[in-house]
Amino acid sequence: MAAKFGDFGYERPDLEAFETEMRSLIGDFGNASDAETQKETYLRIIKEMEHVNTMRTLARIRFTVNTNDEYYNAEHEFFDNNKPKFLEIESELKKALLGSKFRKELEKDLGKIVFDHAETDLRTFSKEIADELVKESKLTNEYIKLIASAKIPFRGEDRNIAGMEPYMQSSDRDERKEANEAKWKFFEDNEKEFDRIYDELVKVRTSMAKKLGYDNFIQLGYDRMHRFDYGPGQVKQFRDNVKEFIVPVTEVLHEMRRKRLGLEKLYYYDALYDFADGNPFPKGDPKWIVDNAVTMYEELSPETSEFINFMVDGDLMDLYNRNGKSNGGYCSFLGDYRSPFIFANMNGTSHDVRVLTHEAGHAFQAFVCRNEVNPAFRHATAEACEVHSMGMEFLTWPWMKLFFGEDGDKFLFHHLTRALKFIPYGVSIDEFQHFVYDNPDATPEERKAQWREIEKKYTPMVDYADNEFLNRGGFWFHQQHVFRMPFYYIDYCLAQVCALQFWKKSNNDRSTAWEDYLRLCNEGGRKPFLELLKVADLGSPFEGSTIENIVSYAQGWAEDNESVMAVGAV
């Protein structure tokens, strides 16, 4: 019988014993007389580190599942407080690895990517920034707890942020407006606290960058993300291409939606509402959704059938939205148990199916590579991982009627148009972060003003009506990546362009699309991002022609299907 997540044992590592053992093994590595002995010692070290990382991940999962759990609050804090010590040990290993006299042989056995990671990681850490790393972790946890603490009074109940979304998609426009105002009032009421946390994060990250010899945090942020084959210049060109090729299409989609809804003007509280007769909603609760996901993945392929049953049998998903639970969704991997874990906050909207297929894409890739001994081969960098997740969202389209019944076609239209509209928003977040870390002394008011200008550039159709907080530039407060994972957000945009290519392939030849996707998942992290795209026969998102071609195809599909969607317009 498969082990269940609830039975996964947690024990706080003995840091002193771990440190002693690691330094002894690193010494053995350096003194090894041949490449094979070094390789065996390296893999032994990695296995010991993976055990500690499993405990860290367990503590994080159980903390985010219930941020009010005092025990796992303390355990999560233990790892945050000792993050510099763990990084110091890892740095010693990487120095030994890079200095190996058998490097050529090890590169052949362990992969050059291992050495690329080591070289980059050594640039991002020194003992000198230990205190700042601890402070950064504490500040991000403050943000997590502040978001999780939300008790938004609405229609006689206190609701958390995820719990507001069904009302923000209501067919009653007055209710949509009221729900949006209630959600954003929470952020406005806590504006000074959000500003303080972010201001301190910007300053501590800038301080670390300076101590490490960087001009500012931007390149340090890129190095933390292990971006080997592109940099800020290519990302800026990507943003420019989005402005040229995608923003005009989203304006067309906006006007199509306005006409479809029969409204004179669309405001921010209409942003999540797509159809005059109501948005598509799944026809059951999270358990029902999982039951149908089992059917879907059993039919999709033998690999996904094995995967979904492994996840269900192991209770490896926490999907229900609850008070005190951290916001958002994620997938983690528990190395000791060779198990992915999916975390989400389902709320009764179409988001429930999107988040499940998205996180299942991450989890599936981790599952197919779960027995890889070398962790560097098991997981790719973030933007490639997001191709796994966003690609899975589109490759499961043929099964959407399982979840939405007669509204299945509406969901497909909703999903595609949302995917297109997401990219300009995503590059807005990225450009905002480049501004922030290029100007670390900007005031909170200047940051918000700059955000509003960037919004007007990429999402010119957004109208915040009389919401003073949003008109001042407060919308980004709810985007946790800005606080917790700087420069991550562009990864979703790059991946969305790739996922749309899988969608187009799947429309033309499902078998080839799936084979390409599976090959990409099996490749894990053996190559950097742009090399992985070649494995899956995907065009680079940095090429304007790639964006232009896929967006033109998607716009044509949307326009061809618009007449079917215009039901109930008034």
Q: Which residue has the tokens 């229900």?
A: 320
Which residue is associated with the tokens 């001042």?
A: 472
Structural domain of residue 19, as residue ranges?
A: 5-123
Look at residue 535 and tell me if it is in a domain: no
Residue 422 belongs to some domain of the structure:
no
The pTM (predicted TM-score) of the whole model is 0.95
**Who contacts 524 (Cβ-Cβ below 8 Å, separation ≥6)?**
365, 369, 372, 377, 378, 379, 380
The closest alpha carbon to 393, from 475, 488, 496, belongs to 496
Q: In tens digits, what is the pLDDT along the chain, a chain of 570 residues?
A: 568 999 999 999 999 999 999 999 999 999 999 999 999 999 999 999 999 999 999 999 999 999 999 999 999 999 999 999 999 999 999 999 999 999 999 999 999 999 999 999 999 999 999 999 999 999 999 999 999 999 999 999 999 999 999 999 999 999 999 999 999 999 999 999 999 999 999 999 999 999 999 999 999 999 999 999 999 999 999 999 999 999 999 999 999 999 999 999 999 999 999 999 999 999 999 999 999 999 999 999 999 999 999 999 999 999 999 988 998 899 999 999 999 999 999 999 999 999 999 999 999 999 999 999 888 899 999 999 999 999 999 999 999 999 999 999 999 999 999 999 999 999 999 999 999 999 999 999 999 999 999 999 999 999 999 999 999 999 999 999 999 999 999 999 999 999 999 999 999 999 999 999 999 999 999 999 999 999 999 999 999 999 999 999 999 999 999 876 655 433
Dihedrals φ, ψ of 50, to 5°? Answer: -65, -35
Strand segments (E) across 210-347 = 317-320, 330-334, 339-346
Enumerate residues 6+ apart whose C-beta is below 8 A from 68: 324
- Residue 326 per-residue DSSP state: P
Sheet strands side by side (includes 339-346): 317-320, 339-346, 330-334
> Does the residue 104 lie in any domain?
yes
> Residue 324 region, left (φ>0) first, then alpha (ψ -120 to 50), else beta?
left
Residue 332 DSSP one-character state: E
Handedness of CA 394, 399, 404, 410 (dihedral sign): positive
d(CA 379, CA 335): 11
Instruction: Give the strand pairing for 317-320 and 330-334.
Output: unpaired
Q: Is residue 175 part of a domain?
A: no
Q: Is residue 100 part of a domain?
A: yes
Q: Is 50 a domain residue?
A: yes
Give the residue carrying structure tokens 């958390």: 160
Give the Å distances, CA to CA, from 318 to 70, 127, 326, 477, 564. Answer: 19, 37, 11, 25, 36
Residue 28 lies in a domain: yes
What single-letter amino acid sits at 109? Answer: D
Number of folded domains that form the chain: 1
Structure tokens belonging to residue 215:
């001009």
Residue 138 lies in a domain: no
Structure tokens given for 126: 């020194």
Q: Select from 6, 30, 7, 195 the least CA-distant residue to 100.
A: 30
